[in-house]
Structure 1
């Protein structure tokens, strides 16, 4: 009689949780799943905490409602799968601002991550160098070519578009810089269009046209109780009694070593004096690049080299509860690095999310600080960071702000992947290396497939599907 499969998922962030749930839903009867998370809690950067009497995010704030093809995003589908459809909420205000010369102006429309389809649409905010974006008879990029976002946009539109528009947009999402981030990974629709179109303006128009048509569906979605409720609901679904597949969830279970067995893997967890061996048939590695590379270094060194090349940025999120200031009617704003501020972005939570109206006429604002390469600025203590964020918020909004009633600093060290050009090729090579060696190992998460909750959910589900396919081939 065949023995039931045993599969380990290493990492309890949203990618690992999605992988484990997909395995629970689709694995054959008798399969055992063990989820191993090194910290005391599941969810990774999905963390909701109480602040000023409200559920306020300490990490990711929302997720995209739709996927590129126009259907439900993987995150929305997961939310429905775990019974949270009735908790969905959408932004009340979608208009964002942009800091320009020390004041806020509306973010221009008709751009793709700050890259305009019509250069005239950003007049007054960024000067587009005339005569550069000409049709020279060939596509902007060759087949399979990847470049830094800034390299392409500077070449075609000039420096100001990069520094005043594109850089703050990428900084808000990745805490990175346009001159180092991969076009193919961060703006894939534009990279695809650039391989057929001869001008940047045409490529942006084509990329914008591939977006799902506007039908009134909100772009972003969150949950009334915060995104932490999604983590809890997935955990509950994993541990629900009954069903043909069993799941064990372990926290405080750091995996220190990955060693091959004759027909599977041995994971070594816990401190050396009390180390525990977890023997499994297959493994989903849903951890950041550096721990993944460390685990892979002894069994697949070439793969570890590809994975370990990824660098990360650190950020801090400063939540402020302010006594009823008259803030602009914006969802928040972005700040170009040229403004010289510590602040790179801010979200007006009480304006953006109608369900987060604070009691006692308080307004909740979250300020984001930290850009790639500026980690030394985050060495300040919490009090200093809070004071700087408060002062810059007052200056940029032009509003006299009273001292915060409550403040909180959430630090995320080495948390945001910095996808350099060629990232996709490195990930493809890493996954191909694992397949060619016959390893029943799969990689999942932001380190490989991109930032964003839907991307991470899809990455985890795809990794689970790959493991199931591999195991079924072994049994044939």
Structure 2
């Protein structure tokens, strides 16, 4: 076969072309669609760097994947990890560290405009040599549009998907023993209703593992994705649909002892085909029209925590270079 190539810049089109409809519908679309709340036919390869790298650097995706697997070091610990006190621990700890270093952090303050002031910028009356906007694309758009119309117009066109998460606790005697060895399942789009994935959280996260069978188990049920926004649906409708669908999937009725419903409206940036070129265009326009204004975050070069940290480091380097400071 010819070299894979990435001309179409669509996850769905690439996988169907190389592996067929069944692999796309039953494997790749449920996996990528669950992680990114995405419709893979409208999702750029730049959002899934593993597939992009394999497609760009190998004649065959399959051969490339086998090579990468052989080169990968053996797993040294659990696949999944998270702070036992919640993800906010990361940002709270970072804020504490910054304050201890003399940094001033202001929260609960709405920024509605940014104005040029001499060699720097005014943000709510405060002068800054440079500004990093780590806000979602559609929040960033009206802030930069007066400074760089091209960047603002592109940012305003970015799409976001909303999802709903239902977390439930089940009695331990209502959970099959063989399920405790599994981390969950994904629902292929041809048979999807509202539920897209279910995580067996007690098996997946160490700090949620029951100490005794009587402790019960925790499930996290994902509802909605790009093109199926359920964030405005009433609580009872979401809960009933989730329990009914998951009950059908696992083969028995669910009788939760506790539950928590969380809505995440417009929380997942959707990297449409051509996304990387648009991001480059935004960065180029800002560098030309508004030097000293930088953007980073999940809307641009990856939604995961490692990707966002990498973008933040890159922005910090950009700011340092702009103001003439060498970072140690």
Same fold (TM over 0.5): yes
By how many angstroms is 1:418 displaced? 0.7
Contact 1:347 1:366 (C-alpha < 8 Å) held by counterparts: yes
Q: How far apart in 1 are the matches of 2:25 and 2:18? A: 14
Question: Which of residues 201, 218, 223 in structure 2 aligns to 1:364?
Answer: 218
* Partner SS for 1:252: coil
Report the equivalent of 2:156: 308
How many pairs were matched up?
320
Q: Identify which of 103, 112, 135 aligns with 1:256.
A: 112
Structure 2 residues not aligned, in runs of 5+: none
Compare 247-256 and 212-221 and name the one that shifted more.
212-221
Q: Is 1:412 the counterpart of 2:264 in the alignment? A: yes
Q: CA deviation at 1:332?
A: 1.4
- The alignment partner of 2:104 has SS state of strand
1:208 Cα deviation from its structure 2 partner: 4.3
Alpha-carbon separation, structure 2, partners of 1:152 and 1:374: 23
Aligned counterpart for 1:456 among listed residues 289, 304, 308: 308
1:89 aligned residue: none
- Structure 2 matches for 1:189-228, cutoff 5 A? 189-208=50-69, 212-228=72-88
Match of 1:160 among 1, 14, 22: 22
Q: TM-score, normalization: structure 1?
A: 0.63
1:381 to 227, 234, 243: 234
Q: Is 1:401 aligned to residue 254 of structure 2?
A: yes
Partner of 1:150: 12
Cα pair 2:167 2:221 within 8 Å, conserved: yes
Q: Distance in 2 between matches of 1:460 and 1:197?
A: 30
What is the TM-score normalised by the length of structure 2? 0.90
Cα RMSD of the aligned pairs, angstroms, is 2.1
Q: CA deviation at 1:207?
A: 4.9
Give me the whole-angstrom Cα distance separating, in 2, the residues matched to 1:234 and 1:196.
Answer: 37
Greater fraction of residues in helix: 2
Alignment of 1:27-176 (within 5 A): 135-136=1-2, 139-141=3-5, 145=7, 147-176=9-38
Q: Which has the higher strand share?
A: 1
d(CA) in 2 for partners of 1:208 and 1:335?
26
Quote how far apart the aligned CAs of 1:309 are. Answer: 2.7
Alignment map for 1:296-375 (pairs within 5 Å): 296-324=144-172, 325-327=174-176, 328-329=179-180, 330-357=182-209, 361-375=215-229
Q: Structure 1's 361 and 218: CA in aligned 2 closer, same or farther, altered over 3 A?
A: closer
Contact 1:257 1:295 in 2 (8 A): yes
| 1:391-425 deviation digits (Å, cap 9, x = unpaired) | 222111113322x2221111010010110121111
Query: Gaps spanning 5+ residues in structure 1: where?
Result: 1-134, 269-276
- Return the structure number with greater relative CO, CA threshold 8 A, min gap 6: 1
For the 8 Å contact 1:323–1:362, the answer to whether it is kept is: yes
Q: 3-state DSSP class of the match of 1:216?
A: coil
Q: 1:292 to 1:261 in 2, by over 3 A?
A: same
What is aligned with 2:142? Answer: 294
